[in-house]
Amino acid sequence: MTGRLTSYRHGDLVFDVNDEGPLDGEVIVLLHGFPQLNTLWDHVVPRLHEAGYRTVAPNQRGYSPGARPRGRWHYRLSNLAADIEVLVGELGQPVHLVGHDWGAAAGWFAVSTAPHHFRSWTALSVPHPGAFFSAMFRGQMFRAWYMVVFGIPFLPARVLGSARMQGRVRRWTRMPADVHQRYWEEVGSDRARLSAGLAWYGAMPLENPLAARIRVQVPTTFAWGTHDFAFGRGAAMRCADFVEAPYEFRQLDGMGHWLPDEAPDLVAELILERVGTRP
């Protein structure tokens, strides 16, 4: 058991961490996505703490001011997964992992390549990359266009960082108004943080494509909202093909992409169901 973490180091990079809940509890590591910070989990963690779990939520690469290397090469999924593995090493024990949006993408990579670090895996909104690519010609490409656009240098940061564009951004992403306001205050209005978050998109073509085919050996739950603007049913349903461990798919009717904000109690319940299940 370790003491409280306020930060941790991976090489020259220093990551900010929210470490809460019972110190002697099993650890749940929570990974945020784009365009949010670890505050994403603020309304989820109280129930996890009540159930006796310790939660550790880092601000990931590019979002922590001390972990913002220049150049999109640094933001490949393999590097993001390595950040998670170093955090687990700091904690000194295998952890339950939870990820939303890009946090889910990084988490899929981590549990696929280093399963011994993880007791369980709960992915929200974003399916296994193999499922994503296998569904590309079955409608997913019409949802994924923005991922290519966001990888263009400079322009996306200017558009997404413009106060005048925020109404359109909110309508397109179907963000609840309060969620969008927090995105704007924490990330959207901070050009350095926004640009670093967008570098995750720019790094997508730089990853080894074979990594998308690695199957998961960790007990897994994948939750997907039927009104998700970014990922369709085809990708969601193919996720099971890439998990060779106990697996549960939870379809959340009427929910969108921003599950921890839209339904924090439901997300906490899903997490507790997974972490409380032993293979």
Q: Is residue 166 part of a domain?
A: no
In a domain, 175, yes or no: no
- What's the confidence (pLDDT) of residue 267? 98
Instruction: Say which amino acid occupies 168.
Output: R
| Residue 43: burial class (beta carbons within 10 Å; 0-12, 13-18, 19+) | middle
Spatial distance between the Cα atoms of 8 and 246, rounded to a whole number of angstroms: 31
In a domain, 76, yes or no: yes
Q: What share of the chain is helix, strand, coil (3-state, %, to 5)?
A: 50, 20, 35
The per-residue pLDDT for 279 is 45
21 Rama sector, left if φ>0, alpha if ψ -120 to 50, beta otherwise:
left
Whether residue 174 is contained in a domain is answered as: no
Tens place of pLDDT for every residue, the chain, 279 residues?
A: 568 999 999 999 999 999 999 999 999 999 999 999 999 999 999 999 999 999 999 999 999 999 999 999 999 999 999 999 999 999 999 999 999 999 999 999 999 999 999 999 999 999 999 998 888 877 888 888 888 888 888 888 988 888 888 898 889 898 888 888 988 899 988 999 999 999 999 998 888 887 788 899 999 999 999 999 999 999 999 999 999 999 999 999 999 999 999 999 999 999 999 998 644
Is 203 domain-assigned?
no
Helix (H) or strand (E) holding 157: helix 155-160
**In this structure, is residue 228 part of a structural domain?**
yes
230 within a domain of the structure (yes/no): yes
Token duo for residue 272: 């507790």
Q: Which CA distances in Å does 76 have to 14, 15, 258?
A: 17, 17, 23
Asked if 106 and 58 touch (Cβ cutoff 8 Å), the reply is no
Residue 37 domain boundaries: 7-140+208-275
pTM exceeds 0.75, yes or no: yes
- The answer to whether position 252 is within a domain reads yes
CB 98 within 8 A of CB 28: yes
Whether 55 contacts 49, CB under 8 Å: yes
- Give the number of other Cβ atoms within 10 Å of residue 256's Cβ: 21
Cα–Cα nearest to 31, from 273, 271, 276: 271
Q: Based on the structure, what is the number of domains in the chain? A: 1
CATH number of the domain encompassing residue 117 = 3.40.50.1820
Within 10 angstroms of residue 131's Cβ, the number of other Cβ atoms is: 24
